[in-house]
Structure 1
Amino acid sequence: MMILTSLQSIKTTLSPFHPLLIEGPSADTRDPSHVAANIVSNLQRHWKKRGITKPILLITQGDPLTETGISAISRKVADELEVKRCLVCLDLEMDSEHSVLADRHDVLYELRYSQMVHILNDGPEEQGQNGENCVTKRLLADRLADSTDDRISCKNMKRKSMGKEPLASWCRKYALLQEVTKCAFKKICGEVTIAHTMQSVPEFGVTSFYEVGLDMGLINEEVDMVAYSVCHEVNIPKG
């Protein structure tokens, strides 16, 4: 496994790949083999339509290995596609255990969240219609954070109206990890695929923050995202 350090080494090493991110909850009791089979079928149709030719690199975000849920599903998808993985973890000052507990099976490269932020913020200023510096790429990660905070506020208002407690404080950092990582990889590689593990994303889960990248125009739903659909029968436990 190689721990990439400089921004240039990150760009040079990872740009030849097509990054794949699988998004879904860890609390998923379905058989990961069946879910992965559906995801792979959906991905293969999507990539054939898009004409993807780069080798696939599966990007994971520090989930510890469990028997079911996103980490198990990600492993199965990687195995079926016969691809290696790249791990992105939170920095130690954000979460001291995140990297320690991460599943490193078949991981070729390892990165930190702060490096993804630097990738997003690296670049020249964008010019407005009259030549003024209206928006800078250096502020892109901050804009993602602001949009995430707005989304959290909206969700908490709805939860309050439902008589529920606010979202857990840790939700923000994992939502940012999700959105910053995929946007940074799209910038590095010029393309990205994000596949969901279920048709209906839980409204208050971390996965639901995928709408942040969409709303900001950083992720294209038609081109970059693959919705979950059932191609193989999946047994969902009752109760």
Structure 2
Amino acid sequence: MRKIKSYLILCLILFTTVSYSGCVSEQHQDKKLELTDIDQHTITKIYIRNGLSGELTITNDSVKIEELSEQLDSYSLEKMEIQEPLVGYRYSIDFYRDSNKISSMTIVGPKTIEIDGIYYNVTNPPVDLEAIDELVDSISEQPQEPGITELTDIDQHTITKIYIRNGLSGEVTTTNDSIKIDELIEQLDKYSLRIKENQKPIVGQIYLIEIYSDSNKISSIAIIDSFIMRIDGVYYDVIDPHIDLVAIEELVDSM
């Protein structure tokens, strides 16, 4: 009887130890994207810088963004006890929703990743750098269609005021509300643009938007229709998606 009791007690101790170890393991092994807000946002653009060559790769291709997210999410991570800055890296990756940076990640090496300033050990498996290289190379081979922030100096200035003229009614709307300014720039920057081959002037426009930093005009943007923009005198076709004129109208009405 004593042997049976001793055996049962031993089994109970072993079960408790294994269960506790499993819980501790689960608590410390976090999947990468669970450590960020990426899953809570629609990522529209990523910037990838190669730490060896310095080359910057940008894409708004949703398929490539999903492929990279899945690749990074396949690794289990454990927060490093020592959080001293490390020198050098293979890739730094910034995730954006429109013009808002959601998260910043750095692949230091196959066994180390830094996420929003915190270092983690890659516990299983190590980062497949060859797979990351191939994915980034496939993005680099794609034609890059810029948005308004790439075609203007907007992001190099603090925008303090915008003037919006309705081309149909002639009404002028002015605002220095930084929140509304950011909302409008985010709305405009979501569209991929390609310079028009035919630069013949087009008569008429739905909105003319003039962007200022204090008293200095930074850029002039005309929304001709859902498919065409004029930026600082140059005409562009709107590639994807087409301009949401209803959203623009609602935003202007709220100013």
TM-score, normalised to structure 2, is: 0.21
More RCO (CA 8 Å, sep 6+)? 1
Judging by fraction of residues, say which structure has more helix: 1
Q: Which has the larger radius of gyration?
A: 2
